[in-house]
């Protein structure tokens, strides 16, 4: 029994004010509890109905009758598979993500975007650390190197040039497969030393 119910059961004999003082509850709280009595009764009735045990076949039949689709839990996709035996590439910016001069340091990542049919789209992004703005991006249904290449080309168009810039991609992120020819015209600083290699994947994003 809660304190509000105790006050309700004995209020005729001792009075609400005195009982509230004894059990240390506010009279306004007791009044609010009384006002919600109807809702509590309705909830108790609903709970009693919902607690009825039914066979799974009946549930399936009722769902079919009302055309209610079931929801299947999707298996979680493991997106990070680091190769412990692979060469570790140095972090060119030393995890310094502070705002600096625009156009000098860029960071990027590939993000999984689950869609209704159970498959994924992939978003490659390129962010200018100097301005905290998205310099380039691309969405595709694959993780081939072309996905990142298009994002870098978009950043190049937006910034006018990536000459001398230092790229950094998320360490231990899954990298694209089957890279195209390096984007030498972009002149990224130390292109080959940006991220770690991932087991079963191609070279790091810095090779683009």
Tell me the pLDDT band of 186, cut-offs 50, 70 and 90: very low
Tell me how far CA of residue 203 lies from CA of 56, 66, 178, in angstroms.
51, 52, 9
Calculate mean pLDDT across residues 119-125: 91
pLDDT digits (tens, 9 = 90+) for 2-34: 888 898 899 899 999 999 998 898 999 989 988
pLDDT digits (tens, 9 = 90+) for 160-178: 877 767 666 655 445 554 4
pLDDT digits (tens, 9 = 90+) for 137-146: 999 998 888 8
Q: How confident is the model at residue 163, as a pLDDT?
A: 76
Spacing of C-alpha 40 from chain mean position: 37
Nearest to 108 by CA among 71, 72, 137, 79: 137
**Cα 159-110-162 angle, rounded to 5 deg:** 20
Mean per-residue pLDDT of the chain:
75
Phi/psi at 112 (5° precision): -80, 135
Q: How confident is the model at residue 80, as a pLDDT?
A: 61
DSSP structure string for 154-196: HHHHHHS--TT-EEEE-TTPPPPBS--S--GGG--TTTTSSS-
Find all residues with CB under 8 Å of 19, minimum gap 6, and list them. Answer: 6, 7, 10, 11
Q: How confident is the model at residue 1, as a pLDDT?
A: 66
- Asked if 167 and 205 touch (Cβ cutoff 8 Å), the reply is yes
Q: Taking 80 as the threshold, does the pLDDT of residue 197 lie above it? A: no
Calculate mean pLDDT across residues 56-60: 90
């Amino acid at each position: 029994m809660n304190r509000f119910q105790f006050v309700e059961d004995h209020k005729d004999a001792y009075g609400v004010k005195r009982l509230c003082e004894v059990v240390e509850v506010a009279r306004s709280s007791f009044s609010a509890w009384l006002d919600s009595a109807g809702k509590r009764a309705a909830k108790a009735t609903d709970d009693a109905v919902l607690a009825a045990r039914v066979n799974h076949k009946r549930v399936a039949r009722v769902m079919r009758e009302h055309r209610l689709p079931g929801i299947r839990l999707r298996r979680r996709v493991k997106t990070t598979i680091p190769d412990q035996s692979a060469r570790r590439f140095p972090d060119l910016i030393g995890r310094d993500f502070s705002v600096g001069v625009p156009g000098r340091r860029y960071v990027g990542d590939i993000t999984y975007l689950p869609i209704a049919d159970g498959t994924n789209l992939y978003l490659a992004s390129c962010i200018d650390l100097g301005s905290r703005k998205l310099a380039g991006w691309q969405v595709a249904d694959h993780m081939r190197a072309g996905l990142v290449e298009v994002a870098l080309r978009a950043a190049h168009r937006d910034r006018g040039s990536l000459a001398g810039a230092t790229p950094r991609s998320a360490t231990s992120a899954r990298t694209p497969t089957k890279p195209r020819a390096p984007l030498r015209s972009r002149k990224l600083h130390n292109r080959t030393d940006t991220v770690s290699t991932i087991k079963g994947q191609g070279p790091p994003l810095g090779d683009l």
